[in-house]
Structure formats: C-alpha cells, structure tokens
Amino acid sequence: MPLTSEQIARFLKSVHPYDSLPSEAQAELVTLFEPWEVERDFAVYDLGEQLPGLFIIYEGKIEVRDENDEVVSHLGLRNSFGERGLLRDGKAVTSARADEHSVLLMLPALHFNRLIENHATAKRFFDRARPARPKGNDLATSKVETFMAHPPFTCPSDADVQTVAGLMRDNRISSVCITDGDSLRGIVTTRDLTGKVLAEARPVATAIADVMTKDPITLSPSAIGSDVLHLMMERRIGHVPITKGDRLVGIVTQTDLTRFQAVSSAELVSRIAGAESAEDMATVTAEIPKLLVQLVAGGNRHEVVTRLITDIADTATRRLLTLAEAKLGPPPVPYLWLACGSQGRQEQTGVSDQDNCLMLDDAVTEAQMPYFAELAKFVSDGLDVCGYFYCPGDMMATNPRWCQPVKVWRDYFAGWINKPNPEAQMLASVMFDLRPIGGDESLFTGSQSDTLNAASRNSIFVAHMISNSLKHTPPLGLLRGFATIRSGEHRNTLDLKHNGVVPVVDLARIYALQGQLPEANTRARLEAAEEAGVLSTSGARDLMDAYDLIAETRLEHQVKLVRSGEKPDNFLAPTDLSDFERSHLRDAFVVVKTMQSAVGHGKGMLG
C-alpha cells in the first residue's frame, strides 16, 4: 500500500520520540522514511547483515530471533527494531521476519545517526545505557511528593472550632485543611486556635470558616524542597498545602521536613542496634517504605538502595541474635547465622521474606541442638514481627534440616553437586547466595570456594543448573511486546520479580559458577564475570543495562504504591507506562531473553 506524506506524518506524531521533535525535524523525517511493504515470511534482515536502517512497524507483525534462532520478541504497531545493531557496528545482532503481511517505515542508517546526533530526545530514547543519576538525598532538590503527608486531615467549612480542635488533638497534628469536597478553601493551625479563638474568647461553636486562613498559598507535588523552604521562610508559615489544580492532595509541615532529613538508613540501623525487643525494632522497620521512597527520589541507583535496605535487615538479625543469647545464655559451641535469597545477595526491596540457615561447629552434640532450635525460633519469630515474613518454602534456620554442623553442610553441597535432581538444583541455587550475618565466620571459610570449585568441574551439574536458571523467562509476547499474567489477582500485569529481575539473578549465578566467582550480589557478579572473561564486554554491558532498567522500574513501581498509601508489590500494569518506558523495558527483556538463549545453547561464556 503506497503511503502518502500525510499518512507518514500523522503516524510519526503518534510514535515516541518523533512526536516530541521540533515540527521542522518532523517534516524532514517524513521525506526520509522509506515505506516497505512485505509479505508473510519475508526476511527483513538476517543475523550479521549490514542493516539498511531503523524500522518502525506501521502495520502488521514482525518476529525477532537471536543468534541461536530462538524467538525473543513478537513486535506490532509502532514498535521499532534494528536500533541495537545500528548503535554498535551497523550489523544486525538479531534476525527479523514478517509474521504476516506488513508495512514498515525504514529510516536509512545515515539519517538515523544524524537523528540521534542532532536531537537529545532521540538520543536518550535509543541509548539503552543507564543514564547518570544524581547522588545524595538532598531535601532542597527532592520533589514535594516524596515527603508530603498524604492524605491530609480535612474538615468541611461548616464545621465548628471544637470539632476541628478535637480532630487535631486526637490525631496529634498541628493543622487541618478546610475543604468543600476535594477543593481547598482554607487552613487552620494550632496558632490560629490560640490567637483567634482562645485569645479573643470566642465560643467553641464558632464556625471554622471565621478563623481559618482563607485561600492559603499552595504548591504542586512537582515542586521541590527548596520551594517549600523558601516559601516558609519568606511568608513565616509552617504549613503548606499541596494541590493539583483545585484539588487538595497533601500537606507539608516543618515536622515533615525534619522527619525527611532525619530518616536515613544509618539512623534506622542505629535505632535497631539499641532496640530491646522485636516489637521495638518493628517500629523502626515500619519506616523502610518511607526510606525506599526517599532513596529512590534522591536518585540513588538500585544496587545502592537495595544494599542500604538490606543493611537494616542484617542489623535486625544481629540484634536478635544478641537478644537471644541474652535470654538463652552463651552458645554451647560456635555458630554462624547466614542469609540466602535476596538478603544474601544484598538485594532486598520494600517486599521481603526471610531466607536463612545456621552452621554449627562440628563439636556440637545432640544434647546441645535444642539450644540452637530455640535461638533460631527466637530470631525468625523476631524477624517476622519486623516484617520479614516466614519463608513459604521453609528455608529458615527453624527447619532442622537447615540448622546443622559444618560437616553436614559440606555433605549437602557434595550431594547436590553429585546428584543434581530438581530439588538439588533449587537448593543449590539458594545456597550459592549464602552470606554470613552473625556469629563465627570461620565456620564458612573455605566452604564457598570449595563448593564453587567442585560444582564448576561437574559438567552434568552445571548443565542442570543452566536448565534450572532458564525456568523464569522475561514476559515477552504479542501485546505491546509483553506477556502479562492471564488470570487471578494480578491479571494483566507484569511480575517484575519472577519474570523481571530473577532471570538476570539466575544468569549471574551461572556466570559466577562458571568462573568460580565468590560474589553473591547480582550486579557484582556480572561485573566480575566481565572482568574474568566469563562474559564478553558487549554481553556484560547489555545485560547490566537491561538489569539496571528492570530493577529500577521495579523500585519506582514500589515507590509509586507507597506514595499512594498502598503496600509495595512487584506487579506492574504495562498501561501504567509511557510508550517510551514500554519500549525500553521491552528491549531490556529482549536482551535478557537473548542472553538466556546463549547460555542455553552453551555460549554463556561469551555472552
């Protein structure tokens, strides 16, 4: 079907980043894009070919395959493809074939390169590398929505003074916003009640509208901390309502500013270290969602955020071990408490259960085992109180199987390596992420290196581990490039944990196994794999960029939920993303799928 210039122009205005380009640039692009009409099974390009340019799907569907001829993506309307090869050496890193009769728009390579050189919006869109983010957690530059109180306490304008005063007393607040519906009409503070009611001896039945500050100065959620600070100092006020248009959405007080500056991982760690009970610790760990919001808003990278949050869990665990020993007495033999799972990898987010175990000195006797059973119960119960819920798979030190002398643990590892059945694969995956938390670390010395060495030399075990690592796949499908959950509570969402970060976690564990790398953290494993030559530089960089994007999307989703007053989870609706975000996330999943395919075909060493 021949396309007119008007049709191409209208189409480009519906596709990012072209929709945000200056009108003269859009007009020029209309003349540069070449329409391609292709039939079903037509090879748009093959692996390794010199790419003619960037492709956008105007109509139809395209199937993309990797170097192992595995399908990594099905693309539809408005999806683009070919940019990864163009951004490298101009050669295709995948193959593309028409699933059905399709119409494509092709921007020749020369003009594609000029596009990203001349327009920052286009460069940012096509550059999949993780952008630099500001460091720190500066109140002055943080958005108001990060630290405002939501929702604010309100009263209708026909309420009386006594009602408002009672609301302030009962909720220990210093102000109430006066509204009609969602619209802000005024604000009343304790200062107003003192100066305008008590000082003037007005009756408690006085209408609140008579003493409120009418039409108070407001800010929007997109304002930054310095806007609040300057406004408070200039107008000598201590409360600033936050509105979207005429609708009240929050409020910022001087207390909020102080609390924002006070909440830090170090401050939470300090409070936990001095806690006298699990209940005391729980009041501290309850602030983790707030810390998560603050850390992400401050521009911290995902591996920094998760490391700081994990530090809090580590401190809570060590404090509980100390309290357990104070209650039970000194341990009869040395022991070591270890974490596995996300805590072991230092990758905890706002949603975490507990995965742990105990290694005991080989001198332990049967008569001494009840001590460690009580210690394990005390600590695991305490962690549950703190919000680190019991492991659904019972991977905890309270399970006698995971509370054993070192010699038994060595037998476990040897057995899993020599007889890699499905259970052994799963357990080995968990145990390769072990990290000492509290106790005698010498009990673990040598165990990890010996296990890695033995495991990497057993080709059958490695093959089983690779097969196990491919069970979690990225959610690629036909709908906008995504395969969402089909039914149940989380229908039409993406599981950013099991289908997002877990596939990369599993790949990184395989690379660590192949290279006998001691790192447990996923990103550290990828960096070490590149340095050790287990992964090619290009493979490592692609996978790290993909992982960064997926992990940061997951954290930003959790932060959005916390800001809305909901519990953080891992289930993201693609409809909540912009075209720009969907495109980048889809490409990240394609990279992961490609790397899985390489590992599955025995090419993991080169990425």
Give the residue from 230, 260, 290 where a domain finishes. Answer: 260
Who wins on pLDDT, 244 or 74?
Answer: 244
Domain containing 533 — which CATH number?
1.20.120
Encode pLDDT of 473-500 as tens digits. Answer: 999 875 457 888 988 899 999 999 999 9
Task: Write out the H or E segment, with its range, that includes residue 524.
Answer: helix 522-532
Report the relative pairing of strands 53-59 and 62-65 from DSSP bridges: unpaired
Give the residue from 410, 429, 457 where a domain finishes. Answer: 457
Question: Would 465 be classed as within a structural domain?
Answer: no
Specify the pLDDT at position 606: 40
137 pLDDT more than 60: no
Question: Would 134 be classed as within a structural domain?
Answer: no
Domain containing 385 — which CATH number?
3.30.460.10
Question: Would 47 be classed as within a structural domain?
Answer: yes
Coil, strand, or helix at residue 25? helix
Split into its structural domains, the chain has a count of: 4
Coil, strand, or helix at residue 549? helix
Cα distance between residue 463 and residue 116, in whole Å: 42
134 pLDDT more than 70: no
Coil, strand, or helix at residue 346? coil
Q: Give the range of the structural domain holding residue 363, as residue numbers without chain letter.
A: 264-457
544 pLDDT more than 80: yes
Instruction: Please give the C-alpha separations between residue 567 and each of 351, 389, 426, 558, 560, in angstroms, as whole numbers.
Output: 9, 14, 29, 8, 10
Tokens of 72: 């990594």
605 pLDDT more than 70: no
339 pLDDT more than 90: yes
308 pLDDT more than 50: yes
Strand positions, DSSP E, 463-529: 494-495
Residues 144 and 237 both lie in one domain = yes
Percentage with pLDDT > 70 across the chain: 95
Task: Assess contact for 355 and 344: CB atoms under 8 A.
Answer: yes
Task: Assess contact for 272 and 244: CB atoms under 8 A.
Answer: no
Question: Would 114 be classed as within a structural domain?
Answer: yes
173-199 as b/e, with b when 16 or more CB fall inside 10 Å?
Answer: bebbbbbeeeebbbbbbbebbeebbee
Residues 179 and 109 both lie in one domain = no
Tokens of 230: 């300057």
Residues 355 and 242 both lie in one domain = no
- Which of 81-95, 254-268, 362-376, 486-500 is least confident? 254-268
Question: Would 131 be classed as within a structural domain?
Answer: no
Task: Assess contact for 336 and 443: CB atoms under 8 A.
Answer: yes
Residues 309 and 443 both lie in one domain = yes
604 pLDDT more than 80: no
Specify the pLDDT at position 147: 82
Residues 241 and 273 both lie in one domain = no
